[in-house]
Amino acid sequence: MIVLVLASIAISVFAVPGFYTSGAVANPNSPQTCVVHVKIINYAYYPEKVKVAPGCTVTWTNKDISIHTVTSVTKVFHSKIMEPGNTFSYTFNAKGIFGYFCEIHNFMMGEVVVS
């Protein structure tokens, strides 16, 4: 069971064209549209930290059994309540470090580094 879950996570992270990982890192030299995917699973963001270039979009998908939000610490972005299966996307145009959390479960935290 654990091997199957890890294999599906590896496929999700490594099968996205134009990306390589160290956490999740968007390849800024890729000619394709820059999109990084973050899953919400077991009351956590996976991966917890992503690195992207300016202009990249991060899409969060709620794969959990509970509702969640994606809210930046500085209120730069804020999703509506995300039911299981819902997604939220935000395009990061400015460089910086953007911490975020779930307003419903404030122990859930993540970070987007734009450089």
Q: What pLDDT digit, counting tens, does each position of 44-92 carry?
A: 999 999 999 999 999 999 999 999 999 999 999 999 999 999 999 999 9
User: How many distinct structural domains can be found in the chain?
Assistant: 1
Range of the domain at 59: 2-114
- What is the rounded CA–CA span in Å between residue 54 and residue 17? 18
Q: Rounded mean pLDDT of the chain?
A: 81
The overall pTM is greater than 0.85 = no
Classify residue 106 as exposed, middle or buried by CB count within 10 Å of its CB (0-12, 13-18, 19+): exposed
Report the CATH number at residue 50.
2.60.40.420
**pLDDT at 11 > cutoff 80:** no
Q: Which of 84, 110, 87 is nearest to 97 (CA)?
A: 110
pLDDT tens digit string along 71-80? 999 999 999 9
